[in-house]
Amino acid sequence: TGEKQGVKVKIKAQSTWNGGPMLRTELLPQTTNSLTGHLFFHVSLQIPTVNPPDPAYEHQIVFWESHFADIKYGQLSGQNGVADTLQVITGGKSIWSVQQPVKGTWYNFILETGSPGGLWVSTGSTPLTKVFTGSLNGNGGTDWHIGALRLPINGAAQQITETDFYYSGIYVEDSGPTTQP
């Protein structure tokens, strides 16, 4: 109920990237400002109840070109276990996760770069709290993407079904952070 603006994005048959097996859709915020130093990258996402992503595939739901961290959903290539997992990964390690994320619920994230760095998380309209303190791998830059990738698992061909994601609250702060979604 706190949402005023947002965007619904789809992955479908026309979402192939460079003719390969990966499906991709992105928002490309435009800036010429350097996105280095102590910054707070905000994004809220929702896995909808209608046309949700198939957890049998690996989804990089949100990523930054500098790869400070990736928010992933689904079965990760080369991993066994519960596929229906939403997690944040940096340096190849999960720093936050939830199994069976509630469809239709907003998950809010702040990736804090620089020193001390870290991850802030909340759901719904609850204020974000810091759940990880430490350096996030990455090198900054001006090119950052908010998007969804669907990767084939272990080389298997994808069955292309329409998938939806919702995003809101996408912005960068150079002080703060603002913890109210």
In 87-115, which positions are buried (b, 16+ CB within 10 angstroms) versus exposed (e)? bbbbeeeebbeeeebeeeebbbbbbbbee
- Tell me the mean pLDDT per 10 residues along the chain, length 181: 72 78 76 81 91 79 66 74 82 89 94 90 97 80 71 68 86 91 88
168/173 Cα distance (integer angstroms): 15
pTM of the predicted model over 0.75: yes
Note the CATH architecture for domain 7-30+38-173. Sandwich (2.60)
For the chain, the domains span 7-30+38-173
Per-residue confidence (pLDDT) for residue 170, from 0 to 100: 85
pLDDT number for residue 5:
73
Question: Residue type for 177, please?
Answer: P
Secondary structure of residue 14 in the 3-state scheme: helix
What's the pLDDT score for residue 49?
A: 92
Structure letter (DSSP) for residue 148: E
- Across the chain, how many H-helices and E-strands are there? 0, 12
The per-residue pLDDT for 120 is 97
CB-based contact 135:111 (threshold 8 Å): no
Q: Which of 179, 177, 170, 136 is nearest to 62 (CA)?
A: 170
